[in-house]
Amino acid sequence: MFASLVLASALSSSPSVQIPFERYRLDNGLEIILAEDHRAPLVAVDLWVHVGSGDEAPGRSGFAHLFEHMMFQGAEHIGEDVHFDVLRKLGATSVNGTTNSDRTNFYEVVPQNQLETALWLESDRLGFLLPVLNEKSLQNQRDVVRNERRQRYDNVAWGKERFAVNAALYPEGHPYRYLTIGKHEDIEGASVDDVRAFWSSRYVPSNATLALVGDFASPKAKALVEKWFGSLRTEPAPKKTSLPTPHLKASSRVDVADPFAKLVRVRFVWHGPRNLDDDDLDLGLFTSALSAPGWGRLQRALVVERPLCESVFAFESSAGLSGSVQIGATLKPGTDLGLVEKILDEELTRAKESEGVNQVEINRAQRRTEAAFVFELDEILGKAERLQSFNHDVGDPGYSAQYLERLRARTPATVRAAAHKWLDQPRVVVVSRPAPPMPPTPGATGPAPAAPPKTSATPAPATTGGAP
């Protein structure tokens, strides 16, 4: 009674992922995306500023994110540190902001009758941040951001590894080198003048996009947007940073001593394509076929059929300037690292060859992406983020259907070709090992230089590893 199940597996039709929307610009260059959705009496307000840690200057790592924090510290007319307070009182939910290498977003979901207050708050910080900017609140947020770094990276297992990966991929001077969170000493060194300069040059209306999704009437929303944002300054948008894609000249190994890790983890890392290149789609499918639960090639080889590892992973992560492809495993205690590296290499080689990643695996990965697109439309904030991200990446908020079409057009041949193209290149092998406690970071309240991870160049991809 189940025989037909697997055969009848292709989705007969592709569910619609079209989000009706309208896009226009104010005279000052601020871009607006509107999408009505009347299922609930709510509006998602989602402001993207097209600047991220990828736009940081050398010596200023972590600054875009620190700046994002300063955007919550108040503005001229609304007052100091009241953003969350005002929104809480009127029943807003999902109030936050985030920074990545490409963009910074600020969002809240408000009751439909409070849209104007959300626009009042957002327009004040975009237009009038500087008059209330002061050293005291900056010092406070430097501390808060450094606490964030401690909580997410410095005081947990495998935080050091994340820095080691980017340090191996990106040379000194490349804005991806120190991750979006940045170095302690750079965060500590950020000044009020830096904030002022960043706001003046980067947070201009012409470098931002405001998306509203939810229960509003578009003509009324347009009038409110014009009322609050229309008078903001008109400045040219800054030029986007453009850097040559970095290349690894030779493969290398990096050993990371991690006092909070109790298990060994190994990770192979390559440079990858930029966001939404064809190769990006291919490598996303390729890594899905390696990492999917149960049937994924690395899962079978290292977790299910030979239970050597606690977990495995494979993913492709792409951003505006470049990306990376990473595969690896967290070993069970007592498992031989050399054996795991050997199996990782064998599986990788097999997956790239002609008996490798096949149509069934690719269909599964494609369908999973399609289903995820449908599921995320359930939330108005999810819709807003979808419109914003395609608008940011390809200049078309309604790119979903075309994206899925492109994804469906990928074939085993294109996937394997992309895998060869990127994964036959030099790579970095990063091994995190449990280590005894480190002495406390000097100057917990002052500049804190981190010890660089040990790096050694090796002539060829390493297929065997030493014992711990």
Tell me which residues in 81-120 interact with another protein (CB under 8 A). 81, 84-86, 88-93, 95, 109, 111-117, 120
Q: Does 172 bind another protein (CB under 8 A)?
A: no
Least distance to another protein from the beta carbon of 333, Å?
A: 6
Q: Which residue of 27, 245, 353, 371 would you call a contact of another protein, by CB under 8 A?
A: 371
Binding range to another protein, per CB under 8 A, among 25-33, 160-168, 231-239, 412-420: 231-239
Q: Within positions 30 to 89, which residues make up the interface with another protein, using CB under 8 A?
A: 39-42, 57-60, 76-78, 81, 84-86, 88-89
Q: Does 294 bind another protein (CB under 8 A)?
A: yes
The footprint of another protein on this chain (CB under 8 A) covers a number of residues equal to 116
Least distance to another protein from the beta carbon of 165, Å?
A: 19
Task: For the beta carbon of residue 464, count every other beta carbon within 10 angstroms.
Answer: 11
Chain centroid to CA 364: 24
Q: Does 223 bind another protein (CB under 8 A)?
A: no
Q: Within positions 187 to 206, which residues make up the interface with another protein, using CB under 8 A?
A: 189, 193-194, 196-197, 200-202, 204
Binding range to another protein, per CB under 8 A, among 293-301, 314-322, 338-346, 385-393: 293-301
Q: Is 107 left (phi over 0), alpha (psi -120 to 50) or beta?
A: beta
Q: Which residue of 28, 29, 134, 235 would you call a contact of another protein, by CB under 8 A?
A: 235
Q: Which lies closer to another protein via its Cβ, residue 166 or residue 311?
A: 311
Distance in angstroms (rounded) separating the CA atoms of residues 402 and 408:
10
Least distance to another protein from the beta carbon of 232, Å?
A: 9
Q: Which residue of 20, 219, 244, 437 would you call a contact of another protein, by CB under 8 A?
A: 437
Q: Within positions 318 to 357, which residues make up the interface with another protein, using CB under 8 A?
A: 330, 332-333
Q: Does 231 bind another protein (CB under 8 A)?
A: yes
Least distance to another protein from the beta carbon of 27, Å?
A: 15
Distance in angstroms (rounded) separating the CA atoms of residues 21 and 108:
19
Least distance to another protein from the beta carbon of 161, Å?
A: 14
Q: Does 446 bind another protein (CB under 8 A)?
A: no
Q: Which lies closer to another protein via its Cβ, residue 155 or residue 245?
A: 155
Binding range to another protein, per CB under 8 A, among 152-160, 349-357, 389-397, 424-432: 152-160
Q: Within positions 399 to 428, which residues make up the interface with another protein, using CB under 8 A?
A: none
Least distance to another protein from the beta carbon of 327, Å?
A: 19
Q: Which lies closer to another protein via its Cβ, residue 62 or residue 111?
A: 111
Least distance to another protein from the beta carbon of 250, Å?
A: 30
Q: Which lies closer to another protein via its Cβ, residue 63 or residue 422?
A: 63
Q: Which lies closer to another protein via its Cβ, residue 5 or residue 467?
A: 5
Least distance to another protein from the beta carbon of 376, Å?
A: 10
Least distance to another protein from the beta carbon of 362, Å?
A: 11
Name 80's bridge partners. Answer: 74
Q: Which residue of 223, 245, 247, 259 would you call a contact of another protein, by CB under 8 A?
A: 259
Q: Does 165 bind another protein (CB under 8 A)?
A: no
Residue 358, CA atoms < 13 Å, CB-side half-sphere: 7
Q: Which residue of 218, 444, 457, 466 would you call a contact of another protein, by CB under 8 A?
A: 444
Q: Does 128 bind another protein (CB under 8 A)?
A: yes
SS3 track for the chain: CCHHHHHCCCCCCCCCCCCCCEEEECCCCCEEEEEECCCCCEEEEEEEECCCHHHCCCCCCCHHHHHHHHCCCEECCCEECCHHHHHHHCCCEEEEEEECCCCEEEEEEEEHHHHHHHHHHHHHHHHCCHHHCCHHHHHHHHHHHHHHHHHHHHCCCCHHHHHHHHHHHCCCCCCCCCCCCCCHHHHHHCCHHHHHHHHHHHCCHHHEEEEEEECCCHHHHHHHHHHHHCCCCCCCCCCCCCCCCCCCCCCEEEEEEECCCCCCEEEEEEEECCCCCHHHHHHHHHHHHHHCCCCCHHHHHHHHCCCCEEEEEEEEEECCCCEEEEEEEEECCCCCHHHHHHHHHHHHHHHHCCCCCCHHHHHHHHHHHHHHHHHHCCCHHHHHHHHHHHHHHHCCCCCHHHHHHHHHCCCHHHHHHHHHHHHCCCCEEEEEEECCCCCCCCCCCCCCCCCCCEEEECCCCCCCCCCC
Distance in angstroms (rounded) separating the CA atoms of residues 294 and 27:
54
Q: Within positions 375 to 394, which residues make up the interface with another protein, using CB under 8 A?
A: 375, 377-380
